[in-house]
Amino acid sequence: MTSHRVDAVVFTLALTVFGLVALALVWSGGWAYEVLARATGHTQTTFLDIGGLGSIGGGAFGVDLHNLLSWHGAWASYVVGLSPLPSGASTYFSADEVAHMADVRAVFRGAELAAVLALFVGGYRISRARRRGGALRLVRAGALVAAGIVAVIGVAAALAFDQLFVLFHDVFFPQGNFLFDPATSNLLRLYPEWYWQGITAGVGLSFIALALLAAWVAHSALRRGSNTYTRAA
């Protein structure tokens, strides 16, 4: 394998890792939850009183979109490492659910470190290619291949979302504490299937669009450079 091909493979992987992690962080925001909730008509749900430290005495109670966004914001801030465990987590969520979110936090922190490393690796590969006059070609090729990889994953997710969702959790949470009963889990009521399907689609489509944009910009710059050289000759 030539040095150019090695650079292309490494840059593609770095771009894919950095882009997906960065967009996952962007789409973890409350704005995405609200857009998806309103678009799917899920602006309220019910939580069960699980009998935790602050038990309200059993039964179920309604949770409107404002409170759903509040809980989502607290959990999102926690899993990305910006805040400690949300206050009241043990009141409304079971011990297994809280433990799972701690595992999610560990995975997210690892992904963030991987994204930073990928950013430096990608930047280094571009710098190497630039010295040989091939930076734009590297960006164009890497962005197109990365878009293709994510598109293939997206098609697979569209055809077999549940299976891929379970596979993802099996890989990153081998301890198996992500399996909850929809009839009794407040965490699944906060994050039902429509949320994960929407976030997956949002991250995937955003990545593909940005990668294709980067490839188009690099291609346009190459064409301008080629035209300039031809006229000068």
Question: Which tens digit of pLDDT belongs to each residue from 168-196?
Answer: 999 999 887 788 999 889 999 999 999 99
Predicted TM-score (pTM) of this structure: 0.90
Give 23-57 pLDDT, tens digit per residue: 999 999 999 999 999 999 999 999 998 765 444 45
Rounded to a whole number, what is the distance in angstroms from the first to the last CA of the chain?
Answer: 34
Largest CA distance in the chain: 84
> Amino acid letter at 86?
P
Burial zone of 80 (CB within 10 Å; 0-12 exposed, 13-18 middle, 19+ buried): middle
